[in-house]
């Protein structure tokens, strides 16, 4: 038996309850969770923006210690510290063959297969393959990455989504170069990771934008040189801060049509706008045919930071060890499982950075 956060149905209240976990079968790994970050994607699962079979145990950004392994598991052993990889690539689909594992067609196949049960026998699905809003979880061997030495286990949870996504958005998708200016829309866990990654890349000016004035200190500690509270004239103010041109790069971490449009309008002619946020399928963004030609900007999506976690995790660990990347500074609330519903409400209200469930 283990305590977990269960989503009984889309848009239903979360339940913190006991569930029954099986022993790990062939190719499976059981993990005692040390910490789990509360990500906006979990909120998107709960409200139906992202599809997920229910009932499900939520949580996909986590780290912990392996307690048992099933037959055939060779990548990890009991006692190993690991980071959960919620989107493991299969290595054999069309996109994996192109060297783009972040687009793997089979990455979320495990989310459709029940992995545990309620105490009444009702099957439970693992949210985004992972189900880390629980004291323990059982996942595929492909969903675990050995944690490099020198990284605190609890803070390492953030590496599983926010930091890989933010780092990748800067280094792989937008390809920020030293001296360039960057605007970051949304100062949550991913946005703070983008700001840090832009600082590490040597960006000359980093403008953070959020609806909450209370996040300015967080943004500046991460590396923002300027902070703007979002308003109707945000794009105009960004152009004023950049000599009338706009930023070389804008990274949208909110997932709203209006914010995407503002990010686009804040980018200079010939600049790059990268969208990280996950929005609703009915939230339409519009551009005129003339402006697409005139501004010559690039607009691109970014899935999981366009990262290969096995490649990028050691790089991030090196940045942490040298003091360039600060994980604990992104955490504004350390909570228990009972605090997850309140953390969802805080996200909806635009408050705080990253809430971290600590066991």
Q: What is the pLDDT of residue 130?
A: 97
- The set of residues, in sequence order, having a beta carbon less than 8 Å from that of 27 and lying 6+ positions away, is 70, 71, 72, 73, 140, 141
> Domains of the chain: which residue ranges?
2-160+326-358, 163-303
**Regions of the chain short of the pLDDT cut 70:** none
Q: Indicate yes or no: pTM above 0.75.
A: yes
Where does 149-206 have alpha helices with state H?
A: 162-168, 189-200
Residue 159, token pair as written in the block: 């590496």
pLDDT of the residue at 208: 98
> Where does the chain show beta strands of DSSP type E?
2-7, 15-20, 28-38, 56-57, 61-69, 81-84, 116-118, 123-126, 136-140, 144-146, 181-185, 205-210, 226-229, 247-252, 267-275, 298-301, 331-335, 354-358
- Residue 352: the pLDDT is 78
| Three-class secondary structure of residue 104 per DSSP | coil
- What's the pLDDT at 353? 81
Say whether 163-303 and 2-160+326-358 share the same fold: no
Structural contact between residues 19 and 124, judged by C-beta atoms closer than 8 angstroms: yes
Give the CATH H-level superfamily of domain 163-303.
Answer: NAD(P)-binding Rossmann-like Domain (3.40.50.720)
What is the pLDDT at residue 74? 95
Structure tokens at 247: 């930023």
pLDDT at position 351: 83
| pLDDT tens digit sequence for 62-111 | 999 999 999 999 999 999 999 999 999 999 999 999 999 999 999 999 99
**pLDDT per residue as tens digits for the range 163-205:** 999 999 999 999 999 999 999 999 999 999 999 999 999 999 9
What is the CB neighbour count within 10 angstroms for residue 229?
A: 14
Write down the pLDDT at residue 349.
83
pLDDT at 350: 81
Q: Which CATH class is domain 2-160+326-358?
A: alpha beta
| pLDDT for res 304 | 96
DSSP 341-358: HHHHHHHHTT--SEEEEE
Assigned token pair, 304: 């999981």
**What distance in Å separates the CA atoms of residue 108 and residue 128, rounded to the nearest whole number?**
6
DSSP code for 271: E
């Amino acid at each position: 038996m283990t305590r977990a956060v269960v989503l009984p149905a889309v848009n239903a209240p979360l339940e913190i309850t006991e569930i029954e976990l099986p022993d790990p079968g062939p190719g499976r790994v059981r993990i005692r969770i040390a910490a789990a970050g509360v990500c906006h994607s979990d909120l998107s699962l709960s409200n139906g923006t992202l599809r997920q079979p229910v009932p499900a145990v939520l949580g996909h950004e986590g780290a912990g210690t392996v307690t048992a392994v099933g037959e055939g598991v060779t990548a990890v052993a009991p006692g190993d510290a690991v980071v959960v990889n919620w989107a493991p690539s299969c290595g054999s689909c069309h996109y994996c063959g192109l060297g783009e594992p972040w687009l793997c067609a089979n990455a979320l196949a495990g989310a459709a297969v029940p992995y545990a049960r309620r105490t009444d026998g009702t099957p439970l699905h693992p949210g985004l393959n992972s189900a880390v809003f629980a004291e323990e979880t059982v996942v595929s061997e492909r969903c675990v990455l050995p944690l490099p030495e020198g990284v605190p286990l609890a803070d390492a949870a953030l590496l599983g989504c926010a930091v890989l996504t933010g780092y990748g958005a800067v280094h792989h998708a937008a390809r920020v170069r030293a001296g360039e200016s960057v605007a970051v829309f949304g100062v949550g866990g991913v946005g703070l990771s983008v700001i840090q990654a832009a600082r590490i890349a040597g960006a000359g000016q980093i403008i953070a934008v959020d609806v909450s004035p209370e996040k300015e200190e967080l943004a500046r500690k991460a590396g923002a040189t300027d902070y703007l509270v979002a308003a109707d004239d945000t794009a105009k103010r960004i152009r004023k801060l950049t000599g009338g041109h706009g930023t070389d790069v804008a990274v949208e971490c909110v997932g709203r049509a209006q914010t995407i449009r503002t990010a686009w309008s804040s980018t200079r002619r010939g600049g790059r706008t990268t969208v990280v946020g996950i929005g609703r399928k009915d939230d339409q963004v519009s551009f005129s045919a003339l402006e697409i030609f005139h501004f010559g900007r690039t607009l691109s999506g970014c899935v999981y930071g366009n990262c290969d976690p096995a490649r990028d995790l050691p790089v991030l660990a090196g940045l942490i060890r040298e003091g360039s990347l600060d994980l604990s500074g992104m955490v504004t609330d350390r909570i228990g499982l009972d605090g997850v519903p309140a953390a969802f409400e805080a996200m909806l209200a635009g408050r705080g950075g990253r809430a971290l469930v600590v066991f």
